[in-house]
Structure 1
């Protein structure tokens, strides 16, 4: 009754199933591994952030360039405040507001962007405290430059004077007559009514949308494997029933109709 399994058609079906199911299982396991790696990176970044908060602040030059290991580390820099910009469309604790970004011209000649704090509301209507005069020493968490247009960051075009879309050296270099560090610092303690901005996790180390996409793809590949097996079983049962009916003589061939000659 199962001699149909030896036909070329079923050889092709069986070969497809034998190759498709392991492939789907492999791809699902690979996507699950990617998700687990992102979870491990996220936990590692949290541990590094907690450890960095307890570490002694190091000179800025010792932590550059910014990478996953140095991001969030406590950095210190000395210089003189030069000018100040506002960075709109920044949320903190679910509230809309903006960053107050001061530019500290360091002893080396380059300017270090420093987020002095966060204020609620619209930057056009807010009263922003001016940066202190004279020399200053800044201590805070080191961060990598932002990418314009990524993660909700607005481009610089269309913003009023004195506002900046992204904290990026590539953007600031067009506004300033001197070089800018490809990094920025968020202070640990904000002045006045401003709120200190907590450091963000390094890029690629958080549980972002890509991590949950990997988890979704894991489920999809395992579903594909189950679907292939289900369709094979359905075809097999239908073919077996047809073969059994043929052996019992329950299948009758329709008589061929004679076509009259014109």
Structure 2
């Protein structure tokens, strides 16, 4: 009954199925691995392990990228104690408050300044509540952050703030406030002076689960569906062939009946076709003999 499996047609079908299913499973597994890698990368971007990793010199981590954002950076210099700024409308632990930002003159960058967020305090900005920055040369370690933009939560890019306050932490917003150049980055200290609280580092832009991650997940489902479809079609063809073989073994398979003969049958062999009159006879037909009485 299963001898049809040895036919060249079924050899080709079986070979196609044997190659297609492992290929679909392999591609589906690869796409699933790509999705899991993006998920792990997104988790690693938001984990605290980046903050507690070994600090690297600031010069080795600039410009800020997805790989360096949130990682600890180390810089040595002196604080500009005369130009301390407060950043209002900032939320930490679901409480409204303000950042305390002090510019650190980077000794390794010829005096270029690095904005350092030394901590956060609740309530409205008040310079009298802010602890003074350390004097002299200090080495500061903090989570590296990219410059803010108008879309950053809490940022105020419209201006109109009182003197001594800053709406957006960026080199562009500081260029008119200080007489020296500023790094296009900032750091947030994770070890602060009481009563200030550390500001959690923000995640880099476009590091969450984007459309590509869900595309990988969709491709995973498609490849597994393809594998199931190939197996389903093979089983369907196999069952059909088995039914046909069973019918033949039981004599249930009949040849289609012969078509009924047409009304005008063709002349048989040996029959003489009636003679056709010539053109002259057609023009001058012979006279009929008179009928006998």
TM-score by length of 2: 0.55
Residues 72-109 of structure 1, C-alpha deviation per residue, up to 9 Å, x if partnerless? 1343331314242426454x44x244551414152644
Shift of residue 7 of structure 1? 4.9
Corresponding residue for residue 185 of structure 1: 187
Corresponding residue for residue 73 of structure 2: 73
Corresponding residue for residue 227 of structure 1: 228
Shift of residue 224 of structure 1? 2.8
Q: 2:100 touches 2:120 (CA, 8 Å); kept in 1?
A: no
Distance 1:4 1:168, change over 3 A: farther
Shift of residue 147 of structure 1? 6.0
Q: Does 1:240 align with 2:241?
A: yes
Corresponding residue for residue 167 of structure 2: 164
Distance 1:105 1:46, change over 3 A: closer
Shift of residue 22 of structure 1? 0.7
Distance 2:5 2:117 in 1: 76
Residues 147-179 of structure 1, C-alpha deviation per residue, up to 9 Å, x if partnerless? 6478x64675457634535x443x435654543
Distance 1:72 1:34, change over 3 A: farther
Q: What is the correspondence of 1:108-187 to structure 2 with a 5 Å cutoff?
A: 108-120=110-122, 126-129=124-127, 132=132, 137=138, 139-146=140-147, 148=149, 153=153, 157=157, 161=161, 162=165, 164-165=167-168, 167-169=169-171, 171-172=172-173, 176=177, 178-187=180-189
Distance 1:253 1:155 in 2: 84
Distance 1:21 1:140, change over 3 A: same
Q: Which runs of 5+ in 2 are unaligned?
A: 261-293
Q: Which moved more, 1:31-40 or 1:192-201?
A: 31-40
Corresponding residue for residue 18 of structure 1: 19
The alignment partner of 1:50 has SS state of coil
Distance 1:88 1:252 in 2: 88
Shift of residue 143 of structure 1? 0.2
Residues 99-153 of structure 1, C-alpha deviation per residue, up to 9 Å, x if partnerless? 5141415264433211122345xxxx62444553895646231403146478x64
Higher gyration radius (CA): 2
TM-score by length of 1: 0.60
Aligned residues: 241
Q: 1:86 touches 1:164 (CA, 8 Å); kept in 2?
A: yes
Q: 2:118 touches 2:188 (CA, 8 Å); kept in 1?
A: yes
Distance 2:6 2:148 in 1: 61
Distance 1:96 1:216, change over 3 A: farther
Corresponding residue for residue 102 of structure 1: 101
Q: Which moved more, 1:195-204 or 1:229-238?
A: 195-204
The alignment partner of 2:52 has SS state of helix
Distance 2:149 2:17 in 1: 47
Q: Does 1:86 align with 2:87?
A: yes
